[in-house]
Structure 1
Amino acid sequence: MRAIRLHSFGPAENLVHERIEDPVPGPGQVRISVAASGVHLLDTALREGMAGPYPAPVELPTVPGREVAGVVDALGEGTDPAWLGRTVVAHLGMAPGGYAELAVTGADRLHEIPGGLDPAEAVAMIGTGRTALGILQFAELGEDDIAIVPAAAGGIGTLLVQYAKNAGATAVGLAGGPTKVASVLANGADIAVDYKQPDWPEQVRDYLGERRATVVFDSVGGATGRAAVDLLAKGGKHLVFGWASEGLRSGSPLTFPEEELAERGITSEMVLGPVMLERAEGGLRGLEERSLAEAAAGRLRPVVHRFPLADAARAHRAMETRDTVGKVVLIP
């Protein structure tokens, strides 16, 4: 099969498109003929040797990627034969192997792709979608809410905007540059502003008038995240799930002293990790099932930025320079 392999940590150019042996499913596993592979910003950090949420950097050489969709074409010993030939999507968990024409995973990780979703959309929902729904557990949006979504043109951001609008809330999207601002408006945001412009907070204040935001979905941190939090009303929530503006390799999430939070009457909370799973009925799998169902019903539709598998290095560079919109997916 053809796959993307990383032989040494470093820049995107270290991702090599080459031929390797076909993987063979073990007991309880299936092999998927991959139609779409998900790319995550974390993949770019892992490529450079950062462990991130993992106990240690991955062993080399490796085939990156942890989200795949396609058709089951082989079964391991003891695997239910009903899976053979079915169109499925799976998050591979801690095991890499997604940037390839064939991928192996446990049958317990599979979801049959609902009708109406193509493999790329299913890949977006199995990882990015489940995270978006996990974050939204902390918001309980309604008609009286005003939600600020930094990185509103990203994979999670596009889904948060859609969810806010479905709930009747006012969606304020922040994005970098006029092209992304236009995409956020096309996705349904009530207002979209370019956070590269120094007066963007004033633009939001002018739009809201006497109203103030009730929640900030913060994946960027830094000056942009702080300016967004300054738009919160008393009782508002700052929900943190990233710090893209600070850099995954050396940055840290935006935090506030307890005294400042108390004085302003707002809360700030990191919503990734165990705290998210504690709220999720059915754990990660429950979030995956709900995410796919929301997409199949048309309530959430991921925006997908497709690259050929052979262009994985270009996809990584585009993510690192913020030249992508929506979820990045590789197509073999």
Structure 2
Amino acid sequence: MHAVRLHAFGPAGNLVLEEVEDPLPGPGQVRVAVGAAGVHLLDTALREGFPGPGQRPTVLPTVPGREVAGVVESLGEGVDGAWLGRRVVAHLGFVPGGYAELAVTDVDRLHEIPAALDDARAVAMIGTGRTALGILQFAEPGPSTVAVVPAAAGGVGTLLVQYAKNAGATVVGLAGGPAKTALVRENGADLAVDYTAPSWPGEVRAFLAGRPATVVFDGVGGEVAREAVALLGPGGRHLVFGWSAEGLRDGRGHFVDGVSQSVLGPVMLERAGGLRALELRALTEAATGRLVPSVHRFPLREAAAAHRALETRRTTGKVVLEP
């Protein structure tokens, strides 16, 4: 099979498409013919040699990627034969191997893909979708909600905008550049603002006409987040999530603003009933059309280009590789 491998930590160009031996499913595992593999911002940090939260250092060479969708084409010992030939999606956890034509995972991680979803959108929901729904447990929006969503054209941001609008909230989406703000408007935001324009906070305040924001969904950090937090009224909530939000912390690792709350981790999973419950709910929301993930597709051979685009914020929605 063909797979993207990393032999040395460093820039995106170190990701190389190679021909390697097919992986073999062990007991309780299946092998999936990959139709789509998810790319996460955390992958770019792992590529440079920085382990993610709770992860061991990456052992090289490695095939990156932790989210796959496709068709089960081989079974390990003890796996029910009914899985053979089924369209499935799985988050591989801390085990890499997704950037490939074939991937192996435990059968317990599989979800059958609803007929209404293609592989790429299923991949978007198994990771990004479950994250969005996990975040929303901490600030369930409603008609009285005024939500500000930085990075509203990203994978999580797109879903947060849609969910909040479905719940009747007033939604302000922030994104960088006219193409991204156009996508934010298409997703239903009441106001889509280009945060690269220095005047954007004033534009938001003029639109809200004295109403304070009640929640900021922040996966970005940095100066954009600081300006967004300043829009909150008394009792407003600043929910921090994601890899890139680290820019909001001070030198001691503390959140700069007193209303901030980090929402990823054990508490999120306990509220949701575990990862599988979140994953199933995410897939169901997409299958019914209540949430429509945005997908930015790259061929598998262009994994390096996908990483570069993600790092420089030139992508929209969930980034996916397709063999």
TM-score by length of structure 2 reads 0.97
1:287 paired residue number: 278
Q: Deviations over 1:243-289 (max 9, x none)?
A: 627669x99977236xxx4xxxxx321001112112112x0000000
Residues of 2 paired with 1:61 and 1:160: CA distance?
Answer: 36
* Worse overlay, 270-279 or 112-121: 270-279
2:176 paired residue number: 176
Would you say 1:61 and 2:61 are equivalent positions?
A: yes
Q: 1:72 to 1:56 in 2, by over 3 A?
A: same
Residues of 2 paired with 1:300 and 1:71: CA distance?
Answer: 24
Give how far 1:221 is off.
Answer: 1.2
Q: 1:293 to 1:146 in 2, by over 3 A?
A: same
Residues of 2 paired with 1:242 and 1:254: CA distance?
Answer: 15
Aligned length: 322
Aligned residue for 2:264, secondary structure, equals coil
1:264 paired residue number: none
Is contact 1:225–1:254 with CA below 8 Å preserved after alignment? Answer: no
Listed as ranges, the matches of 1:266-285 within 5 Å are 267-281=259-273, 283-285=274-276
Q: Give the gaps of 5 or more residues in structure 1.
A: 262-266
Would you say 1:207 and 2:187 are equivalent positions?
A: no
2:176 partner amino acid: G
Would you say 1:329 and 2:303 are equivalent positions?
A: no
Q: Deviations over 1:170-220 (max 9, x none)?
A: 110000111111111111111011111111110000000021111000111
Residues of 2 paired with 1:306 and 1:252: CA distance?
Answer: 38
1:75 paired residue number: 75
2:239 paired residue number: 239
Is contact 2:173–2:192 with CA below 8 Å preserved after alignment? Answer: yes
Structure 1 runs (4+) deviating above 2 angstroms are 242-248, 250-254
Q: Pairwise CA RMSD of aligned residues?
A: 1.6
Give how far 1:15 is off.
Answer: 0.2
2:307 paired residue number: 316
Is contact 1:240–1:254 with CA below 8 Å preserved after alignment? Answer: no
Q: 1:115 to 1:280 in 2, by over 3 A?
A: same
Is contact 1:146–1:212 with CA below 8 Å preserved after alignment? Answer: yes
Q: Deviations over 1:103-158 (max 9, x none)?
A: 00000000000111000000000000000000000011100101000000100000
2:290 paired residue number: 299
Give how far 1:242 is off.
Answer: 3.2
Q: 1:253 to 1:294 in 2, by over 3 A?
A: farther
Is contact 1:243–1:251 with CA below 8 Å preserved after alignment? Answer: no
Residues of 2 paired with 1:165 and 1:53: CA distance?
Answer: 32
Give how far 1:56 is off.
Answer: 2.6
Aligned residue for 2:3, secondary structure, equals strand
2:230 partner amino acid: D
Residues of 2 paired with 1:97 and 1:243: CA distance?
Answer: 21
Q: 1:110 to 1:136 in 2, by over 3 A?
A: same
Is contact 1:243–1:254 with CA below 8 Å preserved after alignment? Answer: no
2:140 paired residue number: 140
Would you say 1:150 and 2:142 are equivalent positions?
A: no
Is contact 1:138–1:271 with CA below 8 Å preserved after alignment? Answer: yes
Residues of 1 paired with 2:233 and 2:81: CA distance?
Answer: 55
Is contact 1:27–1:77 with CA below 8 Å preserved after alignment? Answer: yes
Residues of 2 paired with 1:243 and 1:74: CA distance?
Answer: 34
* Worse overlay, 158-167 or 52-61: 52-61
Is contact 2:69–2:122 with CA below 8 Å preserved after alignment? Answer: yes
